[in-house]
Amino acid sequence: MEEDVHAILELKRRRKAVILAHNYQSPEIFHGVADIVGDSLALAREAQKVDADIILMAGVHFMAETAKLMNPEKMVLIPDAEAGCSLAESILPEDVARLRQRYPGRPVVTYVNTSAAVKAMSDICCTSGNAKKVVESLGVSEVIMLPDEFLALNVAKETHVKILTWKGHCEVHERFSPEDIAALRRQYPGVTVLTHPECPPDVVEAGDFSGSTAVMADYVRENKPARVALITECSMSDNIAQASPETDFVKPCNLCPHMKRITLKNIRRSLEELQEEVIIKPEYFVSARQAVERMLAVK
């Protein structure tokens, strides 16, 4: 492991590369080799500012595509092109076209967890960190929000805007149930339960607070709960535990097999061989970038 870390640090210098890593990456990536870490929104924002020749995304494919959309002139690498996402796979551009036909005039708000081809069919993107703000920024009474049904239902509870949903789910968060949370509270009386908005609405309701991975990390840092359960991907607790030594993390977590495809070994190989390079078809590029830029302009 140490040898791979040293090799990656040297390759980063030699290639003038930066590594962006999502909060769900394994601790040795998150703490060992990443230059910038964060939630999907932070990674999209930071991708705009990167000063390097190469961006390596330690995350899943849609995140690498977003980085490429913001940096057309830079080489963007993903160590394993098969690192997908059940949400991104739940919807195709043809589905968006059908939804537009069925609900004419409603803006399409698309979660960043989608392909560039789907983003290109959208009016604006959102993440779990800004979904409510994005929906309300449009100044309309009804929107289509896709593909995450649970995120859409969770946002719908907090806004007067009517939200039409799609049937996509995150395979990591859909597996949690309110019974899991009840069992946790029985086993650890007083535990603070933080849920991710990709969880089913009854799970979010059973928790104490809900937010994106960055919002969860901020909550723990600022509130210093004695004991916390993060209802999300397993690496999250491992990654933030170091910054919050006074908090005891209980881990009723689920692994994301897509995030876990990224390893120190394939990051090293990716920087050595400059593979896999992320390419976005020119026919999608401009519209997909616009949807991301509109999201980033929402304050």
Binding site for ligand SF4 (CB under 6 A): 60, 85-87, 113, 170-172, 198, 233, 256, 258-259
- Residue 86 touches which member of ligand SF4, ligand 13P, none, C-beta under 5-8 Å by kind: ligand SF4
Name the minimum Å distance from CB 86 to ligand SF4: 4
Q: 122 vs 128, which CB is nearer to ligand SF4?
A: 128
> Which one of ligand 13P, ligand SF4, none is in contact with 122 (Cβ closer than 5 to 8 A by kind)?
none
121 versus 172: smaller Cβ distance to ligand SF4: 172
If contact means CB under 5 to 8 A according to the sort of partner, which of ligand SF4, ligand 13P, none does residue 207 touch? Answer: none
Report, in Å, the least distance between residue 98 CB and ligand 13P: 25
Residues in the chain: 299
Of 185, 104, 98, the C-alpha closest to 147 is 98
- Give, in degrees to the nearest 5, the angle at Cα 21 between 285 and 27: 160
Instruction: Using the minimum distance from each CB to ligand 13P, give the nearer residue, 4 or 174.
Output: 174
Strand partners, 83: none
Which residues is 252 bridged to in the sheet? none
Residues that bind ligand 13P (CB under 6 A): 23, 39-41, 85, 113, 127-129, 170, 198, 212-213
Q: Say which entry of ligand SF4, ligand 13P, none residue 258 contacts (CB below 5 to 8 A, set by partner kind).
A: ligand SF4
Query: Of these partners, ligand SF4, ligand 13P, none, which one is at the site of residue 115 (CB under 5 to 8 Å by kind)?
Result: none
Count the Cβ atoms, other than its own, within 10 Å of residue 51: 7
Residue 42 or 85: the one with the smaller Cβ distance to ligand SF4 is: 85
Using CA atoms, how far apart are residues 169 and 7, in angstroms rounded to an integer? Answer: 37
Task: Decide whether 34 or 60 has the Cβ nearer to ligand SF4.
Answer: 60
Task: Provide the 3-class DSSP secondary structure of residue 249.
Answer: strand
Beta strands in the chain (DSSP E): 17-22, 36-38, 54-58, 75-77, 108-111, 124-126, 142-146, 162-165, 192-195, 209-210, 227-231, 248-250
Residue 156 to residue 292: CA distance in whole angstroms = 21
